[in-house]
A and B are shown apart, each in its own frame.
Chain A
Amino acid sequence: MTTTTPPVTTQELAAKDRRRARSSEGARAERRLGWLLCAPAVIVMIAVTAYPIGYAIFLSLERYVMSAPQLTKFVGLSNYGAILNSPFWWRALWVTAVITAISVAIEFVLGMLLALLMYRTIWGRGTVRTTVLIPYGIVTVAAAFSWLYAWTPSTGYLSAAFGNAAPLTSQWQAIGVIILAEIWKTTPFMALLMMAGLSLVPEDLLKAAKVDGATAWQRFVRVMLPLMKPAILVALLFRTLDAFRIFDNIFILTSGNNGTGSVSILTYDNLFTALNLGLGSALSVLILICVAIIAVVFIKGFGTAAPGTDLGR
């Protein structure tokens, strides 16, 4: 077989050049339009996040207490040193980590069960989905008050159910209540994300497995879970990052007292109660670093597809 190609004529070359010139003009116009359309959104996002973050890093290097602004001065990394040497920071980090780990784990299991329910229930699908969206939609603060009063001795039904207990006054019981409030609030969201994953599992595959004699459990573990893995990882990534930022529930339930404060609560206290902008900013930067670490662990470690990477097509 010969591999010689017929010689390209100058006319064909000229035509190709013209086409290339035209398509890059079109491509250039498309690029400009694309950037133009995205510009307002990008400008707002950068103005509100990139600049303040840079400013926060700058503030974190200063000793700046609002009640004595004239004493503001540059102190380098001593804010970070103070934080990392402080038991309060490590306790808050520990509490945050525990709350995050436990609530995400339980939400995963319950969310999966709920997703299966919402997806495959024989009747009342609309009713279940609507009711289950209420915890998702309800204002976190409103729900937190509901739980607060429920666990307040001599006011709450839950407190009465446990013999006039006052769990919000002791550290780990309060953390348990906080975790319960978190789980109630965000399991529906987890369930919705997993339901999306469930819809990716082809019915025929499940039927074939059933025909092959697989039990429901085996069908779940061997067929559904592997196919849902990308959706599960995305859901876990979102929820973990979300859980790490926990604030609203703790603020209402305990105000962070009795050692129940998360890192966000600690930052809030330093910032708005102690009015220490330097420390507050340093804490914010540290929290950002933790969040970044979690994201990297999930994306590089577990191979979570950073959501949206296929949207760029």
Chain B
Amino acid sequence: MAATAATARQRSGWTIANIVAIVLALIPVVWILSLSFKTPASITDPTFFPTHWTWGNYSGILTTSTFIRPLLNSIGIGLIATLIAVVLASMAAYAVARLNFPGKQVLIGVSLLIAMFPPIALATPLFNIERALGLFNTWPGLIIPYVATGLPLGIYTLSAFFREIPWELEKAAKVDGATPAQAFLRVIAPLAAPGMVTTAILVFLFCWNEFLLAITLTATTAARTAPAAMAFFTGNSQFAVPTGSISAAAVVITIPIIIFVLFFQRRIVAGLTAGAVKG
């Protein structure tokens, strides 16, 4: 009896804590969502929820190339950079996890060093270098730095994942008569896949989110990504503060993230904690 009573009290305690955490996490998201539905006239109404609803903000930004193009840039640059980074990181992480060679420590150390760089320190010289090489304001001009800054994250996460794979299974499969290719594809690849998917998600999130390099290494919508474009939005008219448009833009670039997080929550948590847990 006493046990169930205590559990009920515990349950309500945890419930309250859960609700507080969830509400605090969501308030700014709900706010920008509600702003995006407010009519331009009612923007100056500081109510949390819109009093007058409109889809106008969304139709405004989704029909203008000043936002569509950056959105496409974000998607394209993000996907390409993620692909390259994951491939290169997998190779390096495989080597770190399975092979013995001098310089392993140095590689990990150096890549962590790079992850901790203040991006502004890179933006300065890259700006000049890219102008000289004709890469300024181009897709490769952003993809290459993104790959380079995404690699440390990728190598770190993947080597933690790869370390957990029981590599003896490959030998066992060969003993059972599998060819090396079969052993790799049927046994190792399925074990490595979750780690690679997680790493790809983390790297893509990084590229999607990246702001500083995006505003310094681009000048027009030719290569500007969505977050950078938003910061320089002037909206539909010269005189109106484009609160509604920017809010709609913010929601549009947030939706894929929310979907990602909903579907891949377990993977993301596993990926972020894999490196920290020394297993």
The interface of chain A, by Cβ under 8 A from chain B, is 27, 30-31, 33-35, 37-38, 40-42, 44-45, 47-49, 51-53, 55-56, 59, 114, 117, 121-124, 126-135, 137-143, 145-147, 149-150, 154-157, 159-160, 184, 188-189, 192-193, 195-197, 199-200, 231, 234-235, 238, 241-242, 244-245, 247-248, 251-252, 264, 267-268, 271-272, 277, 280-281, 283-285, 287-288, 291, 295, 306-312
Contact = CB atoms under 8 A, between A and B. Distances in A.
Contacts of A124: 15, 18
Contacts of B261: 130, 133-134, 137
B262 A130 contact: yes
Contacts of A149: 31-32, 35, 243, 247
- Indicate the member of A42, A142, A196 with the most B CB atoms within 10 Å: A142
B28 A192 contact: no
A289 B216 CA distance: 22
Contacts of A280: 124
A149 B85 CA distance: 36
Contacts of A143: 28, 32
A117 B22 contact: no
Interface in B75-100: 88-89, 91-92, 94-96, 99-100
A55 B129 contact: yes
Contacts of A139: 208-209, 211, 226-227, 250, 253-254, 257
A145 B110 contact: no
Nearest to B227: A141
A290 to B, nearest CB: 9
B169 interface: no
Chain B interface helix/strand/loop/mixed: helix
A195 B266 CA distance: 13
A41 B199 CA distance: 15
Interface in B189-219: 205, 208-209, 211-212, 216
Interface string B33-63: 0010000000110111000000000000000
- Indicate the member of B18, B126, B249 with the most A CB atoms within 10 Å: B18
